Amino acid sequence: MKDRIITALDVDNIVEAKALVDKLAEAVFFKVGLQAFLGFGNELITHLKSKNKKLFLDLKFKDIPNTVYGAVKSSLKYTPEFLTIHLSGGAAMIKQAVAAAADVPGLSILGVTVLTSLSAADLKDIGVALAPEDAVLKLCELGLNNGLNSFVCSPLEIAPIKKRFGRDVVLVTPGIRPEWAAKGDQQRVFTPKMAVEAGSDYLVIGRPITRSESPHDAFIKILDEISCPVRTGRR
């Protein structure tokens, strides 16, 4: 269960980022996004690797196919376990990302569906007439048809995706808030337990852990919540 919780290291300095990794001794998987990568990526990733942590490099590539092929190739030196591309980059771009990562053991390319920050109205503004759930399903289908089977989506879309495409599709979900944590800017949230029960394979959790008074205790509390369904009396 431990490696199903991915802690998002969205902080603005290397001292804080390293301190978090050190405090989270039990955590296995960390997400390095644009803020940390552009600020101090090399040093942070070296630190993570020295502690045998898994790396989710969340740079969400979207560009012409040739450029994304090159970006994925360049990312390989960081030996990430997960790497993200935007599915809206289209079939040829997805194929090139997959080709660049072919034969790299232990690496999964994740397709980002629709950002959880986008509402139906926002989608309309960028020319997408579909409802968010339908847009997500369409993008997953595009990913599956072009060599992907792992996707980033909101917890709300876990059930529809698994229903349509089967249990083998791997889903990684942000938008997770334990009952005891502040929602922050996340609107449509699931608790860790709800997300796992809905079929999420990996939970991406940032502030409820990193901004907690004790990141270690917060992590353990979440781990406990997803590891011990019996305690709720539902099973």
Q: How distant is the alpha carbon of residue 178 from its chain centre?
A: 17
- Choose, from 23, 49, 53, 60, the residue flagged as catalytic: 60
Which 202-231 positions form the footprint of ligand C5P (CB under 6 A)? Answer: 204-207
From 49-57, 62-70, 201-209, 217-225, span contacting ligand C5P (CB under 6 A): 201-209
Does residue 170 belong to the site contacting ligand C5P (CB under 6 A)?
Answer: no
Q: Is 63 in the site for ligand C5P (CB under 6 A)?
A: no
Secondary structure (DSSP) of 221-232: HHHHHHH-GGGG
Site string for ligand C5P, 10-49 (x = CB under 6 A): x--------------------x-x----------------
Q: Which two tokens mark 214?
A: 């004790």
Query: 112 is written with which tokens?
Result: 């980002």
CB of 31 to ligand C5P, least distance (A): 6
Strands (E) in the chain, as ranges, are: 5-8, 29-33, 54-61, 82-86, 108-112, 150-152, 170-173, 202-205
194 is an interface residue for ligand C5P by CB under 6 A = no
For helices 14-23 and 34-50, what crossing angle results, to 10°? 50
Q: Which residues bind ligand C5P (CB under 6 A)?
A: 8, 10, 31, 33, 115-116, 152, 174-175, 184, 186, 204-207
